[in-house]
Structure 1
Amino acid sequence: MKGLMLSTFYASKKSMITYFIVSIFAAIVFAMINPMMTCFLPMMFLISPITDNFKNEKESKWMHYISTLPTGRTTYINSYFGLYGIALLLGLIMGIVAVGIATQAFNMVLISALVGIGAAGTYAIVFPLTFKFGPENSNVILITTSIFVIVLFFIVFFGFLTPAMATANSFTEAANIQSIIVTTIYGAIGLVLLLGSYLMSLKIFNGQEF
């Protein structure tokens, strides 16, 4: 599994390093501009190169090769989700530190973290869809998944969080009980979809005949 994770990392090393640097600046800037989005941005930046790697597999046929190995399929899935989890955790830590320093408010840190978890967890549905329809359809799958993630995020952010910010005198005041409840539900949906995506990926990929 470690070897597969390193393989994916080195295949996307340049973009990962670039996005890592961008994520740091994004976390710092948005911690001052809009703390509620601070965890969301670095998490999405860091996981993007991992899912983009499917485009490389479209040409290399690596997914077809790994499926012929005795223990390759489960290890392959675990390596992708392991790297995805590491990227998610790094982005989350960046956001939490930036929001904590900028606002010094636990409620705001919690809301920002839950928003990021909700979005990143939702984006994980790209994995079972890719394993089901193949890396040759990765562009369509990535675009469709991104639209779904953005629509759900906008519903939560502009439907519930923005009105709270509009009526509040500060970001800290906007981090009220209602905002916490809404983002908790959103974060829970993200975690459920992340777990569901992992289980579905295992089932789909292990059941396929290449």
Structure 2
Amino acid sequence: MPRVAKIERSTKETQLRLVLNVDGGGNLGIATGIPFFDHMLDLFAFHSLFGLEIVAQGDTAVDFHHTVEDIGIALGAALAQALGSKSGVMRYGCSYIPMDEALIRSVVDISGRPLLIYHAPFGAEGIGSFSFQLVGEFLRAFSTHAALTLHTAILYGRNSHHMVEGIFKSLAQALAAATSLNPGMPGIPSTKGLL
């Protein structure tokens, strides 16, 4: 069965439409109204090998927070929906990504138990008008609504752009591994028989 999900989310702060194809092979078009975030999501789609389309309009004149968080919610919900029972997936994924002077690690368990452990330097500078703190908000919303356990850590780094880019790439690579199909275990990857 195709591992595809479509999510539409409309609030007083944002309106968005998202299409995710876990086996889709890359970016299908991303337009959030936040250029730096578009770039990060494009990298995410490319390195996860997911087909990803996002069209969003939000109250970005006020702040980017609502748009970033709501996209995290929608992307997490789409991943959970696309994976369904999670039958046949590898379940676990880990990726270390060097981005120049920065090194980032992301480890994921498609467990059905939402949890985010996120280690990042306190007070890191924003990238233009994009606050570094929004990355944590995105990861929290995504991991909660995807119902997965995510540990992401910036092991070291100085440049905020490099650190954020490494986060999105390492998350993508970890998810590519975790969502790949395991031919040796076609059923649910848990001794409980349920995730």
TM-score scaled to structure 1, two decimals? 0.36
Structure exhibiting the larger radius of gyration computed from Cα positions: 1
More strand by share: 2
TM-score scaled to structure 2, two decimals? 0.38
